[in-house]
Amino acid sequence: MTEYPRPDRFSLAPGYEISRVLRGNWQLAGGHGAVDRAEAVEDMIAFADAGITTFDCADIYTGVEELIGQFRAQYLNRRGAEALAEVRVHTKCVPDLSKLGTLTRDQLQDTIDRSRRRLGVERLDLVQFHWWDYAAGDWLQAAQWLEEFRIEGRLQFVSGTNFDTDHVSAMLAAGVPLRTMQVQYSLLDRRPEKRMAELAGEAGINFLCYGTVAGGFLSDRWLGQPDPGAEIENRSLIKYKLIIEDIGGWDLFQALLVTLRRIADAHGTDIATVASAALLTRPLVAGVIVGARNRAHLASNLAISALKLRAIELAEIDAVLAQGRDLEGDVYTLERDRTGRHGAIMKYNLNKEEA
């Protein structure tokens, strides 16, 4: 791995640095092919050794917190405490939709304690709070409980994911100090720029971005390919195909890939690396979370933060995208409509009781 640069680091707080390229782990939770658990732990070790030391997961990613717990134990054994101290794990707290109306403080604390047990940590690094339906139950009270758990030492930072601007604003007003917001933010999806960026800038909230390679669509693999229609191999691609359709369709997407390829040629790199690197140039973006099923794309993802795109290249990308449409609504508005195309493909009750 030594021939690749280590990704840049970003300081979220004094003494708390993350790698600007984070490893996404949803792909290990099912729906993206079989997972060899021993191999998955070896992959995580390879990522951490190479400098991608920050891992994203969730309480609802089936089996993934346990896998990361195994990785942490192995990493400590093989590389020692100093190396393990570089590793950050950002999990999520995602209460089931069916439980929102009756959620108690004790139940929420149980899920936090379960994440601590699974990950093998006394204190969780950073917990990203998600709430499926603003109209069901008391989401603001739950956010305040998380802040209480932070004060008690169960977690270091309270953060959020997929909240819109008004709800972020309400949490801040209620005294919940959100450190980051994890949002879908990519060349295809610029909804965070509409309203949330201004609030985040004022409040000192950084973005952690998912979807920067659109499940793999933003890569050389799809350059010059025909529209796959409904023949799509995994849940991630199904999700991002809807985004491609909404912003203007397959022809516009192909025009974007052609432009990204031209820029990639100028830098001797690939389309996916350019697509993620472009997001790192946006204000407030602390890091890009790139999903990984294995270590096939590790080398390419290590190159992301070292790639410095020129203003003219970013303008060329913008010029292509200007021919399309902006996605409707604020952050996650489309996905919150459970009867709509984006919301209907989600799974809402994955946070099963621990066996």
Ligand X SMILES: NC(=O)c1ccc[n+]([C@@H]2O[C@H](COP(=O)([O-])OP(=O)(O)OC[C@H]3O[C@@H](n4cnc5c(N)ncnc54)[C@H](OP(=O)(O)O)[C@@H]3O)[C@@H](O)[C@H]2O)c1
Applying CB under 6 A, what is the total number of residues that bind ligand X?
27
Residue 182 within binding range of ligand X, rule CB under 6 A:
yes
Residue 275 within binding range of ligand X, rule CB under 6 A:
no
Query: Out of 115, 236, 259, 351, which residue is the one contacting ligand X (CB under 6 A)?
Result: 236
Residue 91 within binding range of ligand X, rule CB under 6 A:
no
Residue 272 within binding range of ligand X, rule CB under 6 A:
yes
Residue 53 within binding range of ligand X, rule CB under 6 A:
no
Least Å distance, CB 236 to ligand X, is 5
Q: Which residues of 249-261 are buried (b: 16+ CB within 10 A; e: fewer)?
A: ebebbbbbbebbe
Least Å distance, CB 106 to ligand X, is 25
Asked if 130 and 96 count as a contact pair (C-beta separation under 8 A), the reply is no
Residue 342 within binding range of ligand X, rule CB under 6 A:
no
Q: Output phi, psi for 303, to 5 deg.
A: -85, -10
Least Å distance, CB 294 to ligand X, is 7
Query: Out of 10, 26, 139, 145, which residue is the one contacting ligand X (CB under 6 A)?
Result: 26
What are the Cα distances from residue 260, in Å, to 47, 213, 274? Answer: 26, 12, 7
Asked if 278 and 309 count as a contact pair (C-beta separation under 8 A), the reply is yes
Query: Out of 7, 160, 192, 216, which residue is the one contacting ligand X (CB under 6 A)?
Result: 216
Q: Give the residue nearest to ligand X (CB).
A: 24
Residue 206 within binding range of ligand X, rule CB under 6 A:
no
- Closest alpha carbon to 253 in 298, 280, 215: 215
d(CA 98, CA 248): 35
Least Å distance, CB 183 to ligand X, is 8
- For ligand X, the closer CB: 78 or 308: 308
Least Å distance, CB 296 to ligand X, is 6
Angle between helices 105-119 and 64-79 (to 10 degrees): 40
| Contact map string, positions 136 to 165, toward ligand X, x by CB under 6 A | -------------------------xx---
| Contact map string, positions 286 to 305, toward ligand X, x by CB under 6 A | ---xxxxx--xx--xx----
- For ligand X, the closer CB: 95 or 311: 95
Asked if 288 and 264 count as a contact pair (C-beta separation under 8 A), the reply is no
Q: CB-based burial of residue 346 (10 Å sphere; 0-12 exposed, 13-18 middle, 19+ buried)?
A: middle
- For ligand X, the closer CB: 19 or 300: 300
- For ligand X, the closer CB: 62 or 152: 62
Query: Among the candidate windows 171-179, 191-199, 211-219, 241-249, which touches ligand X by CB under 6 A?
Result: 211-219
How far is residue 118 CA from its own chain's centroid?
A: 20
Residue 7 within binding range of ligand X, rule CB under 6 A:
no
Query: Out of 219, 259, 305, 351, which residue is the one contacting ligand X (CB under 6 A)?
Result: 219
The partner residues of 2 in beta bridges, in order of sequence, read none
Least Å distance, CB 23 to ligand X, is 8
Total residue count of the chain as it appears in this document: 355
Angle between helices 64-79 and 37-50 (to 10 degrees): 60
Please list the alpha-helical segments (H only) found in the chain.
37-50, 64-79, 81-84, 105-119, 139-152, 165-173, 191-194, 196-203, 235-247, 250-267, 271-280, 298-302, 311-321, 333-336
User: Which residues lie near ligand X (CB under 6 A)?
Assistant: 24-27, 56, 161-162, 182, 210-216, 219, 236, 272, 289-293, 296-297, 300-301
